[in-house]
Structure 1
Amino acid sequence: MTEAKTVDLFVIGGGINGAGIARDAAGRGLSVILCEKGDLAEGTSSRSGKLVHGGLRYLEYYEFRLVREALIEREVLLNSASHIIWPMRFVLPHSPDDRPAWLVRLGLFLYDHLGGRKRLPGTRSLDLHRDPEGAPILDKYTKGFEYSDCWVDDARLVVLNALDARERGATVLTRTACVSARREDGGWRVETRNERTGDITSFRAKVLVNAGGPWVNDIVGRVAGSNSSRNVRLVKGSHIIVPKFWEGNQAYLVQNHDKRVIFINPYEGDKALIGTTDIPYEGRPEEVRAEEKEIDYLLAAVNRYFKEKLRRSDVLHSFSGVRPLFDDGKGNPSAVTRDYVFDLDETGGAPMLNIYGGKITTFRKLSEHAIQKIAGFFPNMKGDWTRGATLPGGEIPNADYVQFAERMRSDYPWMPRALVNHYGRLYGARVNRIVKGVTSLDGLGRHFGGQLYEAEVRYLVANEWAETAEDVLVRRTKQNLHLTETERAAFADWFGAHVTRAA
């Protein structure tokens, strides 16, 4: 067993909350280690609806504080990473069979004003028979509303937080499970196992942060041998991906008979992302899958509103994630709070902070609050700093991605427009780190299909913890949706034969 350095903070979990907390802490001058048993964002944080939003439907459950915080964070995040987060307009066809129009209008009024909206346009009413946004909607729906929220590449948001944490001094260990954490001499002795080599390493830390998401209680009990009065409630959310079936960049939000709302969002250019379901889940989080009845449910919700009817054969891909919600005792999964709760256990003078709940939109604020919660143990650490900071690649003047993309086209005249957009959206102001010195497509190396070239793959392996073909295709680039089955297999073969993990 190798004895490693002592650190201020040891963070378990490489999802959005763990990565955000590691980043915040490192930026305050704390020494930090983050460990993740798989790949970054491999669990819940890459299986979301890809939205930075206030949560319009949460108003119905009187979650005004949460919605306000999320709406404020929406613009903070938009300014910090406009390459992976961008505005999107949502069309909500009104169904008189469900919520009354006055209630929807009131909710949208609150949504426009609760968070001090500055950059995003406000709500407007639509005549679905006259306005072009109503063209794909069935004629029986005559009235609609349009409002603003934001899109996000969720997995890249996690990676960029981890990248910023590392650049500020944190150590990020992927494919490294925390197998034991025990209080010792007023601190923690933590043992990790490298999932590639089996090597066990021992660390010492002053404070332990448990950001295990769906595994939070497993870490409390099995790993740390502790207890918590809090419980996590696992709720499964499934999505489907189909070919895009309408014109325009707008997304749609439809109300279903059971009062749930379903998002129908443009995705990856020529596709649509549809979700989500809300189902109690009791299985192993790593084994979650979208069931056929969930897929049927989503198809039926869409077909209730749109002229073009989707069939099971239209589903190109499905995925499911387990949301680790704080168990507030509500019976209806849709009513369970999306807010977050901290459980700080200071037994033996060795603090352990357990994170329950949370959502992607509020990760930065959750991280800030988490560090504030343990600030008393680090009297000399620096103050809050992330609100005005950019994420790696987000150093774009005035957070104006459109203007930035135009400049990219001038800087790289040899690069096709689709590739400019691919690199710009994923890497923002850091595109040059991939294409520096390249003057033609041939200079990018082997082309694997879609927009995937060898230069990008090698960059991801060397800089962003990509260790498998799946890491690259699914979480770092989404190119699995653009390569054929044959191309994906060929890439996996090449990756296994030619790429080695960076030291």
Structure 2
Amino acid sequence: MASDQAETVDLLIVGGGINGAGIARDAAGRGLSVLLVERDDLAGHTSSASTKLIHGGLRYLEYGEFRLVREALIERERLWGMAPHIIWPLEFVLPQAHSPRPAWMVRLGLFLYDHLGGRRKLPATRAVDLDRDAMGDGLRPDAGRAFVYSDCWVEDSRLVALNAADAAARGADIRTRTSLVRAARAGAGWAAEIEQGGVRRRVEARAIVNAAGPWVVDLLGRLGQAPNERGVRLVKGSHIVVPKLYEGAHAFLLQNPDKRVVFAIPYEGDYTLVGTTDEPWDAAPARPEISADETAYLCATIARYFARPITPAQVVWSYAGIRPLYDDHAASASAVTRDYVLDLDAGAGRAPLLSIFGGKITTFRKLAEHALAELAPFFPEAGPAWTAGAVLPGGDFDDFERLVAALVAERPGLPPALLRRLARAYGTRTRQLLGAAAGPEALGEDFGGGLYAAEIDYLVAEEWARTAEDILWRRSKLGLHVPADAAARIEAYLARRRAAA
């Protein structure tokens, strides 16, 4: 089925990962009309498969990536201030036992890390003796000295959803489960065709932004663009989740003999997240799975440092993602730059096509700002840069504990643990989600793990959730906490909602 009426927009953005959502938000806030299409779910691929850190990338200093690290470090505290419900500080313990790098080199790197990005709120690096400090609990005997530095944690897929929600609030049209069928230059703009639910629609756009992530080159081919020197290097990164390895709110950065590093991070209260790997991905982009070799590598890293080793049988969940890194022709996957490159094709009066190569979640806001700067000559009516410091939905509060205390005082009939989890996900918008509910019975069907119908209704209405997977594994990580039959019950509930609509 096709619609003859063409929609007209300034920007057609293809890709609903962090870069696409960030650009949509920035552009909409400048007064441009924006249509973002994502063939799957928001953050359905790479942007929900990260190590979930807002960080400068300490190890990138070793490769001379000073510009990238500085930009990321500046963004680190800025993003924390913009979304304090889904971003918060995290201390990292860097043991020197088994380190392939001398202590002076690590300390020099940490000195640069402390001072390169104008750190204001996060604490400076310090040294600890793991044999005497509680931070060494759970490690093998004679763990020795370590450095402790700080970065931030982020709920990565929620960061994407909140950027999309803010973009929509500013006028952007966000359409998930919508594919770009074709597009070609027509006069001063683009004539495109999109498809959603079997219905095709025509779109006329003044410019296209190719934010397709691992599919960036594939999309260029479908747009009829000739190959150029820009390329993408696909690297698979995998993570495992295991029962909690140690007490404490700190994380570990573990150095391996091959000079790669692996994080061990507190996760969802009862678990530890371990990752990541770096493996070349030579096949077509897809939804990858962790390999047995990757699992063994991560388990061996834990065994090298922790008193209680883990085995593949103890893995309760794993995930993998394809990182679309800019191909700088580095010899190894670990050494490939995490910097981004913006490729603008707009010569000889041609309608602009901006393609995004590479990038990391920490620098998405700055990448979006740079993308709009590239497009500025074609949109002289657009407003100035504005996103630095502009809070994301739900982030308009100063102190998380005070927010939780206020919610508990306002809703004495609701479990404090539930209110804390909701505040971590939705911030001040928790009140909108809860409505007038004074007790659990007012939240609708209970799916277990603290998930009620009221939250599902909110996610469908406000955050484009359409399936149980969207809800359990991207809008939340409640898939680790709900009963085995929860997904089927959620799908049945969603079907009833659709039928009643």
Pairwise TM-score range, normalised by the shorter structure: over 0.9
The answer for unaligned runs of 5 or more in structure 1 is none
Q: Deviation string for 1:229-281 (max 9, x for gaps)?
A: 30000000000011112111111110011100000000111111110000000
Tell me how far apart the structure 2 counterparts of residues 236 and 447 of structure 1 sit (CA, whole Å).
37
The AA in structure 2 aligned to 1:259 is K
Out of 4, 11, 14, the position equivalent to 2:13 is: 11
Asked whether the equivalents of residues 462 and 502 of structure 1 are also in contact (C-alpha less than 8 Å), the reply is no
Tell me how far apart the structure 1 counterparts of residues 382 and 489 of structure 2 sit (CA, whole Å).
49
Pairs within 5 Å for 1:206-355: 206-347=206-347, 348-355=349-356
Q: 1:143 to 1:275 in 2, by over 3 A?
A: same
Q: 1:39 to 1:152 in 2, by over 3 A?
A: same
Pairs within 5 Å for 1:127-138: 127-138=129-140
TM-score scaled by length of structure 2: 0.97
What is the Cα deviation at residue 117 of structure 1? Answer: 0.4
| Structure 2 equivalent of residue 181 of structure 1 | 183
What is the Cα deviation at residue 495 of structure 1? Answer: 3.1
The AA in structure 2 aligned to 1:277 is T
| Structure 2 equivalent of residue 387 of structure 1 | 388
Q: Deviation string for 1:53-100 (max 9, x for gaps)?
A: 000000000101100000000001000000000000111111255111
| Structure 2 equivalent of residue 438 of structure 1 | 437
Tell me how far apart the structure 1 counterparts of residues 210 and 22 of structure 2 sit (CA, whole Å).
13
Asked whether the equivalents of residues 45 and 287 of structure 2 are also in contact (C-alpha less than 8 Å), the reply is no
Asked whether the equivalents of residues 180 and 193 of structure 2 are also in contact (C-alpha less than 8 Å), the reply is yes
Tell me how far apart the structure 1 counterparts of residues 24 and 93 of structure 2 sit (CA, whole Å).
37
Q: Deviation string for 1:403-439 (max 9, x for gaps)?
A: 2222221122112122011110111011111111111
Q: Secondary structure at the match of 1:121?
A: coil
RMSD over aligned Cα, in angstroms? 1.3
Asked whether the equivalents of residues 435 and 455 of structure 1 are also in contact (C-alpha less than 8 Å), the reply is yes
Asked whether the equivalents of residues 8 and 204 of structure 2 are also in contact (C-alpha less than 8 Å), the reply is yes
Tell me how far apart the structure 1 counterparts of residues 387 and 500 of structure 2 sit (CA, whole Å).
29
Tell me how far apart the structure 1 counterparts of residues 498 and 285 of structure 2 sit (CA, whole Å).
29
Pairs within 5 Å for 1:64-75: 64-75=66-77
Q: Deviation string for 1:135-191 (max 9, x for gaps)?
A: 211123211111100000000000000000000001001000111110001110111
Pairs within 5 Å for 1:72-111: 72-111=74-113
Q: Deviation string for 1:113-140 (max 9, x for gaps)?
A: 1011011111110101111001211123
Q: Secondary structure at the match of 2:485?
A: helix
What is the Cα deviation at residue 308 of structure 1? Answer: 1.1
1:462 lines up with 2:464 in the alignment: no
| Structure 2 equivalent of residue 483 of structure 1 | 482
Asked whether the equivalents of residues 467 and 501 of structure 1 are also in contact (C-alpha less than 8 Å), the reply is no
The AA in structure 1 aligned to 2:232 is V
| Structure 1 equivalent of residue 157 of structure 2 | 155
Asked whether the equivalents of residues 99 and 255 of structure 2 are also in contact (C-alpha less than 8 Å), the reply is no
Tell me how far apart the structure 1 counterparts of residues 12 and 235 of structure 2 sit (CA, whole Å).
27
Asked whether the equivalents of residues 179 and 223 of structure 1 are also in contact (C-alpha less than 8 Å), the reply is no
The AA in structure 1 aligned to 2:131 is H
Q: Secondary structure at the match of 2:119?
A: coil
Asked whether the equivalents of residues 10 and 208 of structure 1 are also in contact (C-alpha less than 8 Å), the reply is yes
| Structure 2 equivalent of residue 375 of structure 1 | 376
| Structure 2 equivalent of residue 500 of structure 1 | 498
Tell me how far apart the structure 2 counterparts of residues 232 and 191 of structure 1 sit (CA, whole Å).
26
Tell me how far apart the structure 2 counterparts of residues 296 and 96 of structure 1 sit (CA, whole Å).
18
1:366 lines up with 2:348 in the alignment: no
What is the Cα deviation at residue 501 of structure 1? Answer: 8.7
Q: In the comparison of the two structures, how many residue pairs are matched?
A: 498
Tell me how far apart the structure 2 counterparts of residues 501 and 321 of structure 1 sit (CA, whole Å).
34
Q: 1:23 to 1:274 in 2, by over 3 A?
A: same
Asked whether the equivalents of residues 125 and 146 of structure 1 are also in contact (C-alpha less than 8 Å), the reply is yes
What is the Cα deviation at residue 221 of structure 1? Answer: 0.6
Tell me how far apart the structure 2 counterparts of residues 351 and 226 of structure 1 sit (CA, whole Å).
15
| Structure 2 equivalent of residue 36 of structure 1 | 38
Q: Secondary structure at the match of 2:150?
A: strand
Q: 1:485 to 1:284 in 2, by over 3 A?
A: farther
Asked whether the equivalents of residues 98 and 255 of structure 2 are also in contact (C-alpha less than 8 Å), the reply is no
What is the Cα deviation at residue 226 of structure 1? Answer: 4.4
Q: 1:115 to 1:434 in 2, by over 3 A?
A: same
Asked whether the equivalents of residues 449 and 482 of structure 2 are also in contact (C-alpha less than 8 Å), the reply is yes
Asked whether the equivalents of residues 131 and 142 of structure 2 are also in contact (C-alpha less than 8 Å), the reply is no
Tell me how far apart the structure 1 counterparts of residues 81 and 99 of structure 2 sit (CA, whole Å).
39
Q: 1:224 to 1:441 in 2, by over 3 A?
A: farther
| Structure 1 equivalent of residue 401 of structure 2 | 402
Tell me how far apart the structure 2 counterparts of residues 135 and 177 of structure 1 sit (CA, whole Å).
50
Q: Secondary structure at the match of 1:301?
A: helix
Asked whether the equivalents of residues 250 and 266 of structure 2 are also in contact (C-alpha less than 8 Å), the reply is yes
TM-score scaled by length of structure 1: 0.97
Tell me how far apart the structure 2 counterparts of residues 64 and 444 of structure 1 sit (CA, whole Å).
49
Percent identity (aligned):
53
1:172 lines up with 2:171 in the alignment: no
Asked whether the equivalents of residues 99 and 256 of structure 2 are also in contact (C-alpha less than 8 Å), the reply is no
Tell me how far apart the structure 1 counterparts of residues 393 and 50 of structure 2 sit (CA, whole Å).
22
Tell me how far apart the structure 2 counterparts of residues 125 and 475 of structure 1 sit (CA, whole Å).
36
Q: Deviation string for 1:334-354 (max 9, x for gaps)?
A: 111000001100144201000
The AA in structure 2 aligned to 1:74 is R
The AA in structure 1 aligned to 2:325 is L
What is the Cα deviation at residue 486 of structure 1? Answer: 2.7
Q: 1:224 to 1:190 in 2, by over 3 A?
A: farther
Out of 18, 25, 43, the position equivalent to 2:27 is: 25
The AA in structure 2 aligned to 1:19 is A
